[in-house]
A and B are shown apart, each in its own frame.
Chain A
Amino acid sequence: MKKIFLICILFSVTAACDGDLNLFGDNNSTFGSETPIIIIDTNNGQIPRDDDDDVDVPDVEVCRFINPGITPLRRLTKIEYNNSIEDLFPNFVIPTQSVASDERVGLFLANTESAVDLVIAEKYMFAAEAVAGIAISDRTALCNGVCNVSWALAITERAFRRPLSVEESGAITGLFEGSEAAYGNEVAVRMTIEAILQSSSFLYRAELGQEPAENVTKLTPHELASRMSYFLGGTTPDAALLEAVKSGKLEKIEDIEKQARRLLAHPRGRARINSVITTWFGIDHVEDLERDGLTQQQLESLLAESQLFIESVMVDGDASLSELLTADYAIVSEENADLYGVSVSGVERVQLPPERRGMLGQPSFLAAHGTGQSIIHRGKFIKDAFLCLGTPDPPQALVPLPTFDGESDRSKADKRIEATDEGCATCHAVVDGIGKIFDPFDENGKYRTADTFGNTLTSTGQMLGTDIEGEIDGVSQLADAMVKSEHVRSCVTKQFLTYSLGRQVSKSEDACSLLVMKKALDLSNGNLNEMLIEIVKTDAFRYRRKLDTGAQ
C-alpha cells in the first residue's frame, strides 16, 4: 500500500538555519510551547561604568557601559507563590494552592505577558482565603498568641519583601483595626492575611524602588534580595537575607556573592536549581505524558530519577556541564531498569550501557521529546535549548509526499530534505541531523536496534551550523562534542540569564553580562554553580533601566 508522508512548503522567510553562528535575535520562535518575546534592543539606557564599581568585568568595549535592559514586572509563578506562602507561614502545613497556570519566556516559566483575568483573580482570592483559614487555626503558631497591629505590619512587610511606605502602613493599620472593631481579632487576622496575599506587592516582583534620575540605577538592596531569592531559591527572601539587607551587608560584591552561595547551598536553592535544569532539558512535565507502555508510576519515577541524577551532579559532583552531559551513570529505579537497559533492585546508581550518557541519554529526556516524529522533535529541542540557534516557525501548510508502508523514520527524513525547497531543507538538515543521533531510542526512550518494521536503526547524525561540525555517532559523541563547544557554553549562559531575568536576553544590552558568565564557566571548568553565582554580579541582574512609565 502506498503511504503518504509530509513535505513542507515554505511560505514565510526563515531567519535562522542559515548556518550563521547567531546566538541572538532569531530566537523569537513561536513554535512549541514557548512564549515568544520581542527582543528589546535599544541603547537609550546606559551609563558609563563607575570606576569604583567593584565587579570584575572583562576589559572590552561592551563592558565599558552599564546597559541593563528592561525589567519586566514578573507575577509569581505557581511554584514561587506556593514556596512564598510556605515560608511566610513556616509553622503550618499548607496544601499546594492551584493558582493560575504559568506562561513561559523561552524555555522557562515567567508570567510577564497577559493580565490576571477574572478566573485567575478568583483563584488568588480562594487561595488567600484557604491559607488565611489555616493560619488562624493556631494563633500561637502564627503570632505567639498576640496578633496585633504590629504583627499585621510585620507580616505585610515580609510578604511585600520591602519596608512599607507610610501610606501602606496606614492602609494595613486601617484594615486591621477597622475589621477588629467590626468583627473581632480572629476575623481581623484572617482578613489581613487575605488582603496581603491578593495584593500586587505580594503577587508581583516589583523591583522598582526609587525611580532614578539617571537612565540606569542599581536595584535597592531589598529589590536585589528579592531578585536573588527568587532566582536561586524560588521563594521570598529568608530572615538571614533580610537581616543582611538591614545591616548594609548586601551592597558590596563580596557580600552579595556570600549570600548567593548561601542561598544556592540551602535546600530551597538546591531544589530550585534542580527544577530549573529539568525545565532546561524539557523534562519538567514528563509525568503528564500519558504514554502507551509506560505507567503513571514509571513516568513519575523517570522524572525522579533525573532529579536524583541532577542532585548528584550539582551537589555531590563537580556541578559541571560535562558531568551533566557525559556521566556514565544514572540513578535508576527497578520499574524503569528495562527502559535504561540495566538491571536494578530498588533504586540504585548504575553504570550505563555505552549508548547512553548523561542527561541526553536518560529516558526522561528521550520520552519527553519522543513522539511519532522523534527525529524532528528531539533535534529541534537540542537546537533551541543547547545550540540557541532558534527555529523559525514551521511552514504554515504542508503538502503530502508519497512514501511506502514500513519506511524508516531516517529514510522519511532524508526524503523530506531531498523533496523540499531550500528554505525547509536548510532547517531540516540541522534539526534532523541532530535528531537522527537518537534514532535507536523509541518514543519512550528504550534502545532498540531495529524499528517495528524491521528497519535497522543507527545513531549517526550530522551537525551543522555551529562549532560542532560533521558526523556524530551516538549520544556519547554528541555529549563530548557539546562539552567542548564554545558555542554550547555561550548558549548555556544565555539560557540561564534568560531564566534569571524573566526576559529574553539581548545582543547589545546583555553582551557584557554574558561575557562575565562565560568567563566564570570557562575558569571553573564548566561549573554551573559558579556561573549562577556570577549572574548575581552582572549588570543585567544588579541594575535596572529608568522606566518608560505609563503614568506620565
Chain B
Amino acid sequence: MKSFTRRHFLRGLGASTLALPLLPSLLNAAEAPGKAKNLIIMFSPNGSLPERWRPSGTENNWTINPNDILAPLIPHKDDLLVIEGVDMTSAAPGNGNGIGDGHQRGMGHMLTGRDLLASNAYPGGVSVDQHIAQRLGVDPLTMAIKPGNATTHSRMSYSAAGQPATPREDPTAIFNSMFGNLDQNPVAAKTLLEQRKSVLDFVKGDMGRIKNKISAKDLQRVEGHLASVRDIEKRLISAGEDGVCVEPNLGNVLDHTRDENFPQTGRLLMDMMVKSFECGLTQVASLQFSRSTGGAQFGSFLDGVTRGHHDLSHDVDANSIEQLVKINRWYAEQMAYLISKLKSVTYSDGTTLLDQTAILWVNELGRGSTHTRTDVPYVLAGSCGGYFDLGRYIESDDEPHNNMLLSLCHAMGVPDATFGDPTYCTGVLKNLT
C-alpha cells in the first residue's frame, strides 16, 4: 500500500492518464483531515412500511424488532436517532404550487424543501448537501448507483434552483480521481497541467464568444458550463501539504450498471466515501441507491425477492410486504456497514470518524404504497461532533422536514435561520440535540 500526503495527491493530478483530482478545495482548510465535521446523505427509494420500520417503546427505552427493517442497526443502537413523525409539509397535497406527482414531489422536495419549477420540474432551490458544501467551501462527493437519465425522479441533489448535481457513478473513475497517479513524475505532471490549462483557456474563450448570441435562458446554461470549466481549472493548481492517509485497495470492480452488483458497488462507493473523509478531501458526501420509482431487482442477491422494488412498493399483500421488508432491511444493512466503517477509523483521543459525522438515511416517501409524504422515515447516525444527542427514538409532532434539513446545517456549522421554503421551516427540529 502506498502512503501519500496531500502534496503527493496533488502532484499526481494532471497525469497522462485520465485522472482529475476530486475535491481539492479542502486543501486550504484549517482542520486536520478526519477531524472536520462530515455529513453523509444516504437515499433509498419508494417509501417504507411504517409498521415494519418503527421501533417500539419510548424515547429512551426502545427496541428494534429483529424481524423488522431496522434490525441490522441493532448493534449500533446507541449511535442512532430514529426519527418518526416528521412531515414533508412543503410537498403535502394542497401546499405550494402542486407541480409533480407524489414520487416527483417527494424526490424534489426531499433535500431542497422547495416546490418544483413549472419550467422543467426540477426543484426551485439548492439541496441541503450542496448548500452545506458551498457554505463550507468544500466539494461534495455526490454519488449514485443506477440513477438513470436526468429527471426529477433520478436526481436528489441540486447545486442551485433547477440545476441538478450530476452524481458520480463509476467506482473506478472515482477511485482514480481520488487516488490515481501517485507515482507520476512531478516534472511531467507539471507540464501536463500547463497543457490542460492552455486547452481550457481556449475553451473559455470560445464560450465567451457564444455568450452574446444566445437567449437569456441558454446564457444561464452556458455560464454554468463555463463555471464548471473554471472549476476544473482550479484543480490544476498545486497547493500546500497536510496529513497522511493510506491509499485503499480498490479491488475487483464489477459492472456498476447492473442491479445484481448493487452490493459490491455500494461497498466500493461507501469505502471511498469514508476514505475521502479520512483523508480530508471533503466533508459532504451522498449516496443515492437507484431512483424514485426505481425498479431495481434484488432477487439475484436477496432470497425470496421476486419482483422489482417499485412494483412491490405498491402492493400490500403479505408476500409483497415480506419482500419489501427484505429490500429495506438490505438498505439498513448498508447503513450499518457505513457506520461500522466510520467507527473503524479511530483517533488517539479515543474518538472515531463516526463521532465527527452525521449520516442521514432518507426516502422520498413515507408509506410507499400510498405515496404519502407525511411521517417520512429518518434514521440518523453519528453525533456530528457532539451536535446530536444519540441513542433515542423520537416521535416528532408533525414538524416540517425543512426543520430536519436546517438541523443538518446547524450540525455542520452552518447556523442559518431557515432552509428551503421558509413557509415550511419553523426552526431546527425539536429535541435532536
Contact = CB atoms under 8 A, between A and B. Distances in A.
Given A73-B218, A115-B220, A400-B316, A175 B202 contact: yes
A350 interface: no
A119 interface: yes
A6 B369 CA distance: 8
B216 A550 contact: yes
Contact of A30 (B99, B306, B311): B99
B199 A400 contact: no
Interface string A532-544: 0000000000000
Contacts of A102: 149-150
A200 B195 contact: no
A178 B198 CA distance: 9
A198 interface: yes
A327 to B, nearest CB: 30
Given A397-B372, A400-B370, A73 B214 contact: yes
B164 interface: yes
A397 B91 CA distance: 11
A398 B228 contact: no
A100 B213 contact: no
B212 interface: yes
A547 B207 CA distance: 18
B222 A200 contact: yes
Interface residues of A, number: 82
A522 interface: no
A405 interface: yes
Given A198-B199, A211-B213, A3 B317 contact: yes
Nearest to B311: A372
A394 interface: yes
Contact of B148 (A4, A70, A101): A101
A101 B150 contact: yes
A195 B216 contact: no
Interface stretch (A35-43, A329-337, A476-484): A35-43
Given A114-B122, A129-B18, A371 B311 contact: yes
A73 B222 contact: yes
A393 B100 contact: yes
A101 B155 CA distance: 12
Contacts of A4: 316-317, 369
Contact of A126 (B20, B120, B163, B167): B20
Nearest to A73: B218
Contact of A373 (B100, B150, B314): B314
B28 interface: no
A172 B209 CA distance: 13
B348 interface: no
Contacts of B427: none
A548 B429 CA distance: 44
B392 interface: no
Nearest to B297: A290
Contacts of A165: 209
Interface string A509-547: 000000000000000000000000000000000000001
A201 B210 contact: yes
A51 interface: no
Nearest to B312: A372
A307 to B, nearest CB: 20
Given A125-B20, A372-B307, A396-B105, A118 B219 contact: no
Nearest to B94: A11
Contacts, number: 252
A399 B195 contact: no
B26 interface: no
B102 interface: yes
Contacts of B116: 30
Interface in A166-214: 167-168, 171-172, 175, 178-179, 183, 187, 191, 194-195, 198-201, 204, 206, 208, 211
Contacts of B205: 171
Interface residues of B, number: 91
Contacts of B217: 72, 550
Most buried by A among B153, B196, B229: B229
Contacts of A292: 297, 299, 306-307
Contacts of B159: 117
Interface string B280-324: 000000000000000111010000001110111011111000000
Most buried by B among A30, A211, A551: A30
A405 B150 contact: no
B104 A30 contact: yes
Contacts of B210: 200-201, 204, 206, 208
B31 interface: no
Contacts of A117: 159, 163-166, 224, 228
B98 A11 contact: yes
B225 interface: yes
Nearest to B151: A33
B206 to A, nearest CB: 4
Contacts of A199: 202-203, 206-207
Contacts of A141: none
A201 to B, nearest CB: 6
Interface string B105-120: 1000000000010111
A400 B211 CA distance: 53
Contacts of B98: 11-12, 396
Interface string B352-377: 00000000000000000111110000
B133 to A, nearest CB: 12
B216 A191 contact: no
Given A33-B149, A117-B159, A195-B202, A550 B195 contact: no
Interface in A113-171: 113-122, 125-126, 128-130, 165, 167-168, 171
B122 A113 contact: yes
Interface string B306-344: 111011101111100000000000000000000000000
B121 A35 contact: yes
Given A70-B215, A102-B150, A120 B166 contact: yes
B104 to A, nearest CB: 6
Nearest to A70: B215
Contact of B214 (A194, A206, A398): A206
Nearest to A195: B202
B221 A115 contact: yes
A115 B372 contact: no
B141 to A, nearest CB: 11
B144 to A, nearest CB: 11
A198 B229 CA distance: 9
Contact of A187 (B18, B151, B162, B195): B195
Given A31-B101, A168-B206, A393-B100, A103 B149 contact: yes
Given A73-B215, A73-B222, A104-B149, A198 B163 contact: no
Contacts of B166: 100-101, 117, 119-120
Contact of A114 (B99, B153, B221, B316): B221
A466 to B, nearest CB: 24
B152 interface: yes
B59 interface: no
Contacts of A195: 199, 202-203
B414 interface: no
A34 to B, nearest CB: 8
8 residue pairs, one from A and one from B, having the closest CB atoms = A115-B224, A550-B219, A372-B311, A550-B216, A551-B212, A121-B228, A73-B218, A11-B93
Given A119-B167, A393-B99, 20 more contacts: A11-B98, A30-B116, A33-B148, A36-B121, A100-B166, A113-B162, A114-B162, A119-B166, A122-B232, A175-B198, A183-B191, A195-B199, A195-B202, A292-B307, A396-B93, A396-B102, A398-B370, A550-B215, A550-B218, A551-B219
25 contacts: A30-B104, A33-B153, A38-B118, A38-B119, A100-B150, A101-B149, A101-B150, A117-B165, A121-B225, A121-B229, A122-B20, A126-B18, A167-B209, A175-B198, A201-B210, A208-B210, A290-B295, A372-B308, A395-B102, A396-B91, A396-B98, A397-B93, A397-B371, A549-B212, A550-B220
